[in-house]
Every structure is written in C-alpha cells, then in structure tokens.
Amino acid sequence: MLNIKLKEARKAAGLTQNEVATALGFGQSFLSKLERGDKRPNVELLSKMAALYGVTESSLIGTVETNQPIQQSLINDDFVPAGLRELSQDKALVVALAISSEEWRTLLTLNVSGVSKSGYIQLLTTIRGVSKQ
C-alpha cells in the first residue's frame, strides 16, 4: 500500500530511482526496497519524499483502495507490523477505541518494530494525549 503510493508518486513526478536517491542522500537500492515494501520510511524521510514529489504526506500514506477502510487494508497488508495488524483484526477493541482513519494512518507511519497489540494501544493513547494539547 505505502510502497505502491511511493512508486506512483515518484513516477508522476517524472523522477528515476537514481534521481530520488541522489536528491535524498541514500542509495538507489534502498529506494527500491521502499518501493517493493521491503522497508518502510520513517516520518522524516516520508516528509522529504513528499516534498520532492510535490505531494502531501497524507496522499502517500492513504489507502490504495479508496473505498476500502484503512483498518481492513491493514489486515490484508503483509508489510504492516504484526502488533498493528493484530489490533486491526480485533473488531470489538477497534469499536471500543473508536480509532479514526487519521489515527490508523499515524500508527502506520511510526517506524517501530516488535511492538505488540497492547503497545500500539499505548501509542494510540499517547497520540491522543499529545494531539489534545
């Protein structure tokens, strides 16, 4: 999902992988891994890529299937971290927490590994606390 958006945005901007890699200061092979979904960009890199491509970060992290809720797309995406995918599969908890599409997207952009379902709930609580300030 994110990897597809990254590749589409790069091509729409008329840039090659080498041009993007040079502009952003990393190797072409790293960009290739991002576009295949083998790696995920952190928030800072996502912001730089969006600026280079002339798009918003939101357009890059949006779902490919616009009629499919983001929660459902997380369930079906093998590159989503296991803890986040597990949270998205817990329908009762998702309803109880009333997780918005924006919150799903925020959780998805966090570059963390090894976080459990309960860890993502803690992150969600923290995000909600910070955003209310």
| CATH code of the domain in which 45 resides | 1.10.260.40
Q: Could you tell me if 44 and 25 are in contact, meaning their C-beta atoms sit under 8 angstroms apart?
A: no
The verdict on 56 and 74 lying in the same domain is no
The model's pTM: 0.49
Residue 133, pLDDT score:
60
Eight-state DSSP code of residue 1:
-
The verdict on 75 and 123 lying in the same domain is yes
The verdict on 80 and 121 lying in the same domain is yes
The verdict on 33 and 85 lying in the same domain is no
Question: How far is 86 from 124, CA to CA, in rounded Å?
Answer: 14
Q: What total number of domains does the chain contain?
A: 2
The verdict on 52 and 100 lying in the same domain is no
* CA-based max dimension of the chain: 46
Q: What tens-digit pLDDT sequence spans the chain (133 residues)?
A: 788 889 988 998 899 999 999 999 999 999 999 999 898 898 889 889 988 888 878 778 864 443 346 777 777 777 788 899 899 888 888 888 888 878 888 888 886 778 999 999 999 999 888 876 6
**Residue 15 sits in which domain range?**
2-61
